[in-house]
Structure 1
Amino acid sequence: MSNWADLTNGKRIKYLRGSDLTQQGLAEAAGLSLALVQKAEQDRGELSIGSLLKLANALNTDVSVILGQQSPRSGMSRDTRAAVRRLSEAVHDSALGDWDGVDEPSTLAGLRAAHDRMCAVYWRGEYGELSELIAKVLLEGSARYGQATGYQREQLGSVLASTYQFASSAAILLGQRDLALSALTAARRLAEDSGDVMLSALLESTLSWIHLRSARVPRAVAVAERAALRIEPSFSRASRPQLLVYGRLMISAAVAASRQGDASAADDYLSQAHAAAARLSGDEALYGTHFGPTAANTEAVGIAVALGNHGKALKLAAHTELPRSMPKLARNRYKLDVALAQCEARLYDRAADTLIEVGLDAPEWVKHQALPGTIGKRLAKVSTARVRRISELIGVPLVA
């Protein structure tokens, strides 16, 4: 594709429409005539502001994108663009107190149930349904939160804060850093107001991840370490939520340290995570965040890969069992680490099979990951034809 700003409005509309939506389909979705859509794509005549707004809404984008002032996210499907927009509207409207249309919000019990469904959907990587559930909890929960008092207000605050955290995590996965930070800012305020110390600490693990994805690695380490120190448990007397949150933060610090090549620090943080996991003795979840022996073991593999210890990573992987209860996305993120280690060990057939497993198991999620491209480049040195076949099979472009 040429420089986005150099294209005409008509070419931008045609590109955004893509091959999965006909001109007739776009006309119906926008409430416009087919003739107007055809003229728009052929750059015949000027579009009114009203028509531009209707087209932008139907294409799940902004007018600024159609006009060339902003570029669309590369590789994002229409459904994913719709999910991103729904996320953005839910986060900003709820935080600004704009929940028009919410006549009778769900009860606290109903919002908790929707929150639990949201957590499950997030870990399956289904962004369309995820954005709908996040919007429901944030808009209805915010409307009820404004009228609540006492215990109910505290509980609603925790549910809302956790939902904003998931909105933040989804946004950073989809490449929307500013939206992720906006959601996390709202989450922090609510968690502090509700007095939920463990949730406040968990939010810092998400902030650490945002910094890591933004290549601000020292800050990612510092954020996780500071939060962990604030809740550092006495292992003989610690509550299970305290052990879970502390272990999760130590994992965040270890992962970030490994990304800057600090093996000593990564090992120290990882040993603390293993100690917390051993004390828990089983996998648990708090506000949809998972930690336990499985997380400690699988993250250790990824840390070894990041440090270039591929032989160690494969040895660890050989002794790591993945329980059926392990969330789909966590399992597949771990498998991508294994596939990269297999590539580095020249186990190309096994790496290709592992990559295919991931692509077929989490087709929408894998499109937003960087590792498949890295693995594809390694495999292409052996067989470009095979990588092209893998690309077609999993729907992810791995080679140019």
Structure 2
Amino acid sequence: MSTWADLTTGKRIKHLRGSDLTQHGLAEASELSYATIQKAEQDRGELSVGSLLAIANALQTDVAVILGQQAPRRGADRGHRAALRQLSDAVHESALGEWEGIEDPSSVADLGSARDAAWSAYWASDTQKVSTYATRVLMEGQARLASATGAERNQLALILASTYRVAASCANGLGYRDLALGALTSAKTLANQVDDPVMRALLESTLSWVYLRGTRTDRAVAVAERAALAIEPSFSKASRPQLLAYGRLMIAAAVAASRREDEAAADDYLSQAHAAAARLGRDERLYGTAFGPTAARTEAVGIHVALKDYGRALNLANQPDMKALPSTMTKVARNRYKLDVALAQCSAGLYDKAGETLIEVGRDAPEWVKHQALPGVIGRRLASVSTSRVRNISDAIGVPLI
């Protein structure tokens, strides 16, 4: 019997669609044409990343499942599944007030440190540590918040909002959209209790990403635009946190615009992000979010890749200041950028370089790469040149690519 990875992409889509959903039904649910679905199931031509995301969303699965990198309902290992269950329980139970038994919650300072550790684990792609730290903060933090007043209550509200946000980010990255939205709902409730426009803006940037992953690109742009208008700084007077949040929102809007192939809008948003980064002058981090010149440059490469302007993307990637990424750049951000570079290299016919870049990513972030769409897209394009080469790459990174 063939394993899930041995099936073609078209056969996997057909299997996931099942007998209860017709091709016309899948086309309607994914907002793609019937011809696109028909060609996909017949393995005729390559699906774009946007089409893959739309089909995965309509089938309520992950892109990695469609590409054969994970089997249905068994994609994550036991440790990951346990971590996500723990995280889900913490998100929902803390919001519902189910923290009985926590009689001596940690101090505000200790909870803040645990929140920071959760974000560090997220950017290192360590789901189990994210769950461990976030669970502690959400349960103990809500227990302490129940009796807190004044400045302590405001501090706790911000710590909790940021922790719900890291939980949402982790869930969204792994394809658990409902958990992500639930966590963001709790985060926004807390953020609204505190006068911190930067936290509210960063929550909206995460919401924009949730909509983007769910292929609701128009909504993703609208959310980022709305939040940017609310915090839009006067560049001569703006605080550094304002510049960071505004720049991150402009990146979110640019990415979403590029996914709907709106080049003019993407360039406009990107220019605003570059302006904010230039005003900052250096990379900074706040509430688990990094922004500055490095983020603006690396995100620009991904945006041009999404717009299929591969030459421009490679020209940016080959600039002297892009050759050595700063050591402060997180593992997730670094490897997401490298996947964009690998796709641009592959599309430009630089197949050996694309393969080498893909191997770098797989070895640096073996668990994270399993949940990404681009390795499968790159692998299928490389397979048109050399199937054996792709199999070697698959073996090297531990992810089936064809």
Contact 1:153 1:194 in 2 (8 A): no
Gaps of 5+ in 2: 5-14, 19-70
Q: Which residue of 1 is the match for residue 398 of structure 2?
A: 395
Report matched runs for 1:264-283 at 5 Å.
264-283=264-283
Report matched runs for 1:84-123 at 5 Å.
84-123=84-123
State the aligned residue count.
Answer: 334
SS at match of 1:378: helix
**1:37-70 deviations in Å (ceiling 9; x for gaps):** xxxxxxxxxxxxxxxxxxxxxxxxxxxxxxxxxx
Q: Distance in 1 between matches of 2:72 and 2:365?
A: 23
- Matched letter for residue 329 of structure 2: M
- Residue 310 (structure 2) pairs with residue 310 (structure 1): yes
- Matched letter for residue 244 of structure 2: L
Q: Which residue of 2 is the match for residue 263 of structure 1?
A: 263
SS at match of 1:382: coil
Q: Distance in 1 between matches of 2:76 and 2:383?
A: 24
- Residue 383 (structure 2) pairs with residue 385 (structure 1): no
Gaps of 5+ in 1: 7-70
**1:306-334 deviations in Å (ceiling 9; x for gaps):** 00110110000011241111111000000
Report matched runs for 1:214-229 at 5 Å.
214-229=214-229
SS at match of 1:194: coil
**1:125-153 deviations in Å (ceiling 9; x for gaps):** 00011111110110010110111001000
Identity of aligned residues (%): 64
Q: Distance in 2 between matches of 1:261 and 1:229?
A: 23
Contact 1:94 1:139 in 2 (8 A): yes
Query: TM-score, normalised on structure 1?
Result: 0.82
Q: Which residue of 1 is the match for residue 52 of structure 2?
A: none
- Matched letter for residue 253 of structure 1: A
Report matched runs for 1:227-306 at 5 Å.
227-306=227-306
TM superposition shift of 1:101? 3.4
1:358 to 355, 361, 367: 361
Q: Distance in 1 between matches of 2:75 and 2:385?
A: 26
SS at match of 2:290: strand
Q: Distance in 2 between matches of 1:79 and 1:393?
A: 22
- Residue 339 (structure 2) pairs with residue 327 (structure 1): no
Q: Which residue of 1 is the match for residue 375 of structure 2?
A: 372
Report matched runs for 1:51-200 at 5 Å.
73-200=73-200
Q: Distance in 2 between matches of 1:89 and 1:180?
A: 13
- Shift in CA distance, 349/72, structure 1 to aligned 2, threshold 3 Å: closer
Of residues 81-90 and 248-257 in structure 1, the stretch that sits farther from structure 2 once superposed is: 81-90
- Matched letter for residue 108 of structure 1: V
**C-alpha RMSD over aligned residues:** 1.5
TM superposition shift of 1:74? 4.5
**1:152-211 deviations in Å (ceiling 9; x for gaps):** 000100000000001000001111000000000000000111222110111000000000
Q: Distance in 1 between matches of 2:72 and 2:80?
A: 12
SS at match of 1:175: coil
Query: TM-score, normalised on structure 2?
Result: 0.81
